[in-house]
Chains A and B, each alone.
Chain A
Amino acid sequence: DAKTTQPPSMDCAEGRAANLPCNHSTISGNEYVYWYRQIHSQGPQYIIHGLKNNETNEMASLIITEDRKSSTLILPHATLRDTAVYYCIVSPYSSASKIIFGSGTRLSIRP
């Protein structure tokens, strides 16, 4: 499985856009980019995923570079409830594949 690299921590002002980067330089052609977050000690929560096109849903936007070696998760208007650890994962679209978490980015939203 491809590995990902994320900054250990970031902060963002409430109401501003939070941009969380992820490097996945060894990603394979059949691997998707997934983002999850974990609020406090709860179970992780799915946010968004993509293959090569940019994606947007009600929670966030995902921007994947053309060479697919990096991506950015964008929370357009961060709130205090977005304080969490954010995990970027690359994994094949297959029932036989593992889901391996890295160390993630701890995002703090300041009032």
Chain B
Amino acid sequence: NAGVTQTPKFQVLKTGQSMTLQCAQDMNHNSMYWYRQDPGMGLRLIYYSASEGTTDKGEVPNGYNVSRLNKREFSLRLESAAPSQTSVYFCASSDRGGMNTEAFFGQGTRLTVV
């Protein structure tokens, strides 16, 4: 039981490059989330998906797009990376509204944009 798996763990991009961060969960959770965490700061919600086929903006959605590919997978895409997007990105999932409401987090993707 792997929980929440994020790939890649580390990435360096040049300004203007694009990339997709992958997230998969094996807990059959309905809800999935993407956060970013800048150095010394708390987590900020980028996008979330309450269920398969739905996505909603969080606190800081500009510069990002998401896809809820199926119940297991929720990807985050940077179309044209900027140095301001240098951060640690965390994916999470939960079964809110179900028996287990706690959110489970992946180990993070450390992204540097130069």
Interface residues of A (CB under 8 A from B): 32, 34, 36, 38, 41-46, 49, 85, 87, 93-104
Contact = CB atoms under 8 A, between A and B. Distances in A.
Given A41-B88, A44-B90, A100-B59, A93 B41 contact: no
Contacts, number: 70
B10 to A, nearest CB: 12
Nearest to A38: B43
A41 B18 CA distance: 25
Interface of B: 4, 30-31, 33, 35, 41-45, 48, 50-51, 56, 58-59, 88, 90, 92, 94-98, 101-108
A99 B42 contact: no
B95 to A, nearest CB: 8
A100 B31 CA distance: 14
Contacts of B108: 41-43
Contacts of B88: 41
A43 B48 contact: no
Interface of A is mostly: loop
Nearest to A89: B103
A65 to B, nearest CB: 21
B35 A101 contact: yes
B33 A99 contact: yes
B104 A46 contact: yes
A42 B96 CA distance: 22
Nearest to B106: A43
30 contacts: A34-B101, A34-B102, A36-B103, A38-B43, A41-B108, A43-B92, A43-B105, A43-B106, A43-B107, A44-B43, A44-B90, A44-B105, A45-B105, A46-B103, A49-B102, A87-B43, A93-B96, A93-B101, A95-B30, A95-B95, A95-B97, A98-B48, A99-B94, A99-B103, A101-B35, A101-B44, A101-B45, A102-B42, A103-B41, A103-B42
